[in-house]
Amino acid sequence: MPSRRQPDERLFKPQMVFEHDDLKDLYHNVKDGIIVSIDLECADHCEGSSYERLSEVGMSWYDPRDDHSRPFTAERALPKIRSVHCIIRKYKNFSADSCYAEEHLRRPHKAMPYSCYFAKSYICNREKALDIIRDKMKWFSEKGLTEDEAAAGTKRKVIVLYWDPRLETSQWDFQLLYPFKRRFGRSRNRAAEMFHSLGVGYLPSSPAFQDEEKKYFAWHNATNDCWATVAGFLQVLSMATQTWKWERWMEKEKTDEEWDRLEMDPKERRKGRDLKALDMSWLKARILERNAALAPPPEKWPKDPLGHREAREQMVHGVLDFF
């Protein structure tokens, strides 16, 4: 991996948010910035550095200058989020169905490379995938400039959200936004729990998606995770102008007597109420169908160390039946 880089001055780190007035200030400071999320998935059963085990690269972004709907709401902004998704060729045959690692016989495989909803998946080598991300980041700083801004040498404000504190870059850990700590009572939380509380991560109710018998996103797909991160941030920003969302999501602390009437389950004891699922009816199944068709057939599945190529699904069922 390259050595730690100096922070990029074009990247913007939002201020802390403690109260609703702080959120309104944040919204006004970032409303013209490009919001970006980058996610890197690794083959967790292989040895080597994260760079060597890189299996997917995802990126999503939202540029308010591409969104002419007014007033701003998360519901109107979601279809304007753009994404890219790269599957690293070295690990293209490792999927939830094909991975032979013993630990994945007892628990679900994390990565879901062929389940991207928001961009056509592109199979390439590691260097090409990272070049795509670097080129996009350079492009963002000059994207959509007015003639006056270009003449003055102005650069666009770029807000980069991430979920992994180990990344060696100047980015902002979205999950450390104070309202999450205040609402959930802890600094770090499960991504799905946080996103679902914001109404993010629910699949459309159309028959094309119901066939999968799923209600939620396929997490641990690099681009699905990126898209949800940008969408979640837009939902938080929308609370600046849609005060009722803030009041519902950050519902005031209950009294001791009210807590006593609730179960001790932390999910029941937390503040606030989840926002309803954001409308995803605009999402079309053809992208997912196209990407799912890229998944390797059984005859292409990788062989285990003994040279066998067995159906992981059958092996998993055998393990579960045994227990």
Distance CA 168, CA 3 (A): 8
**Band (6; pLDDT cuts 50, 70, 90):** very low
Q: Which residue has the tokens 């094309």?
A: 208
**Band (317; pLDDT cuts 50, 70, 90):** very low
pLDDT tens-digit profile of 90-138? 988 877 665 555 555 555 556 789 999 999 999 999 999 999 999 999 9
3-state secondary structure of 222: helix
**Could you tell me which of 243, 234, 249 has the C-alpha nearest to residue 31?**
234
Chain centre to alpha carbon of residue 77:
16
Q: Average the pLDDT over 49-57 and give the result.
A: 82
What one-character-per-residue DSSP string does 175-211 give? GG-HHHHHHHSSS---HHHHHHHTT-SBPP-SHHHHT
**pLDDT of 321:** 30
Residue 49, pLDDT above cutoff 80: no
**264/146: higher pLDDT:** 146
Record the tokens describing residue 208, joined without a space: 């094309």
**Band (38; pLDDT cuts 50, 70, 90):** very high
Distance CA 315, CA 24 (A): 53
Residue 278, pLDDT above cutoff 90: yes
**pLDDT of 218:** 81
Residue 207, pLDDT above cutoff 90: no
CB 204 within 8 A of CB 283: yes
**pLDDT of 224:** 94
**pLDDT of 271:** 60
**Band (252; pLDDT cuts 50, 70, 90):** low
Distance CA 249, CA 275 (A): 7
Q: Return the H-helix or E-strand segment holding 133.
A: helix 126-140
Half-sphere exposure of 242 (CA within 13 A, CB side): 15
**Could you tell me which of 146, 176, 170, 174 has the C-alpha nearest to residue 158?**
170
Q: Return the H-helix or E-strand segment holding 236.
A: helix 222-238
Q: Average the pLDDT over 140-159 and give the result.
A: 92
Distance CA 281, CA 263 (A): 35
**Could you tell me which of 152, 61, 124, 56 has the C-alpha nearest to residue 96?**
56
Distance CA 53, CA 265 (A): 38
3-state secondary structure of 232: helix
Mean pLDDT of the chain: 78
Residue 211, pLDDT above cutoff 60: no
Record the tokens describing residue 165, joined without a space: 């504190």
